[in-house]
Amino acid sequence: MNFMMIILWNAMAVMGATDELFEKFKVEMEHGKRWSVSEIVKRKAVFLANIAHINELNTKYGEHFGVNKYALMTTEEKRHLMGKKVPEEYKKSYKKANPPQFKKTSLPESLIFCGNYNVNNGKKYDYCASKTQNQGECGSCYAFGVAQLLETKYAMKTGRKEQISAQQILDCNTGSSERCCGGFPQDVLKHVKGYTTEKAYPYKDFYTSMDDCSRNKCEKKSSVLKVKSYKSFDNCYTEECVKSVLNNYGPFVTSMYASQDLQYYTHGVLDLDCGNPNIGTNHVVVVVGYGVEGGKAFLVIRNSWGDNWGENGYFRISWNDLCGIGGNDAGAMPTSVLVDITTEKLQSGVVPYFALLVLFALSVM
């Protein structure tokens, strides 16, 4: 076989593999409705362009990125998935907050509340349900951010793992948030009084249009928890401050700036480059721990793009740039929120030690 034949053979193999990937993700995107020929041609062009971009990312930043269903999406479609949105009138009512108060003590090298990460010289808990929830094509990251934070708080207090319903948040929030058009955590925490489980109130907006702002009818369900208090904070975007928050209060919900490149993330510790700790943010996530791997320190973040994305639904970033976590959203409002809850019935009437610590810390703020 001559040299030109080898090149041709390799090119055909690559194209064959690319076609297989395209067909695989096309099935997910079609939702049971077959695309027209013109739509397939359009999506194939988008797919090939995005694959080229993914290759560039891996060349520039290391092998942290891969091909998934987001490679079939246009730039506008991917932008809508970042569903953090704050109305202008709401921004005016927020003033600059302060970092949480805590005593300075020595901090463990690692602290993990959720996720399958190794811990050296630290503490590891398992306060998350095994499956990371998936917002689908709805711009509902703000609802899932709150739901998945409350899930950890519920486990910390009761010892039980229950997924909390994001759909209930979308349907029953009477504030400014707009279903799949976006919202923000503080609005949810202010207006939704009781929260039920995903099992009792399942998610149905997975395929809902990203510009569908009208709410479904709120269904009355019994609550498993209520928000007792919440507190926004900013000016806490250093490694020491964020670690102290996690050690004193546990996980917290936050908005951050997430570029569309994050959607192709597969594994490893990302070095983000936002350049401004108070950058305008667009995506809501939950901070669930920190650690060290191969001499590189990282922050662990739980996302809402399903457990087949990233590291089983999680991603890790270095401390070099937190892209808005612990900051002030372009000077408009704090990005991060601490939450305390009450439950309908605590398991065996016993509150775990860490939960008592959180309650005490919030009471003295």
CATH number at residue 147: 3.90.70.10
**Alpha-carbon distance 285 to 301, whole Å?**
7
289 and 259 in a single domain? The answer is yes
Instruction: Give pLDDT tens digits for 254-296.
Output: 999 999 999 999 999 999 989 889 999 999 999 999 999 999 9
289 and 176 in a single domain? The answer is yes
65 and 87 in a single domain? The answer is no
Question: What band does 353 get if pLDDT is binned at 50, 70 and 90?
Answer: very low
Mean pLDDT of 188-199: 95
Domain with 210, as residue range(s), is: 81-363
Active site residues: 141, 283, 303
Which of 72, 99, 128 marks a domain boundary? 72
166 and 291 in a single domain? The answer is yes
31 and 132 in a single domain? The answer is no
Pairing of strands 314-318, 269-270: parallel
39 and 152 in a single domain? The answer is no
The mean pLDDT of the chain is 86
**Alpha-carbon distance 168 to 204, whole Å?**
10
Per-residue model confidence (pLDDT) at position 8: 33
**Strand partners for 197:** 164
Which of 54, 72, 90 marks a domain boundary? 72
47 and 105 in a single domain? The answer is no
Which of 34, 54, 72 marks a domain boundary? 72
Pairing of strands 252-256, 336-343: antiparallel
